[in-house]
Amino acid sequence: MTRLLYALAGADKARQFSPHVWKTVMSLAHKGLDYETVPVGFTEIPAIENGSTATVPLLRDGDRLVRDSFEIALYLDEAYPDRPSLFCGEGGKAMARFIENWSQSTLHMAVTRIAILDIHDLLGPADRAYFRSSREERLGASLEEIAAAGKAEVEGFAKKLQPLRNMLKVQPFIGGEEPLFPDYIVFGALQWLRTTAGTKVLEADDPVALWFARCLDLHGGIGHRVTAA
């Protein structure tokens, strides 16, 4: 059975940068499941699987189509209970919901402001036009104005990670001694920044930077398969 993972990519199809896709990449690796990646641009998404989704990741697992990185993680735990769990029970799922909301409300907007012009420049012509119009409408400013605000985000980014930094002083992963899906949620946000802008927001000896390096090395170093921008 061939699994397919539809993943957002730039003009260089090997440069997959979506934080949500990276969550799924790490989830599949955590489970030890093989798959083929189908890279797509923003404007190609509506044609995927006969219009089955408006966003990626989208996972085809045999005759099943599963959308959304969190739903994919839940599905993988249910479909493959004999493989390492991504949540380790209902408490892990509840923790992951909190981490997901914290990451998207706190980290994602900061990364958007820091990397928005870099993301634009990674895209092909059709995707650049779509990205500019959709993001400027959504955020109420030009990409250039958003990027200007991003300069302040660089200086303050490390402070946003203080809760994680405090926790990593007593355990190596958010999941404890081993990573769980909540680790992949935050990893996805920082990997998004690494693969688009490459902006340094953490000192090398920061506990969060050391945790991120451990995550990059997980599962045979799959996080390194896309180089830093």
Angle at 37 between CA 16 and CA 127, to 5 degrees: 45
pLDDT at 97 (0 to 100): 98
pLDDT at 1 (0 to 100): 63
Domains of the chain (ranges, CATH numbers): 3-79 (3.40.30.10)
pLDDT at 2 (0 to 100): 85
* 0.95 exceeded by pTM: yes
* Series of mean pLDDT values for 10-residue runs along the chain (229 residues): 92 96 98 98 97 97 97 98 98 97 97 98 97 97 95 95 96 98 98 97 98 98 97
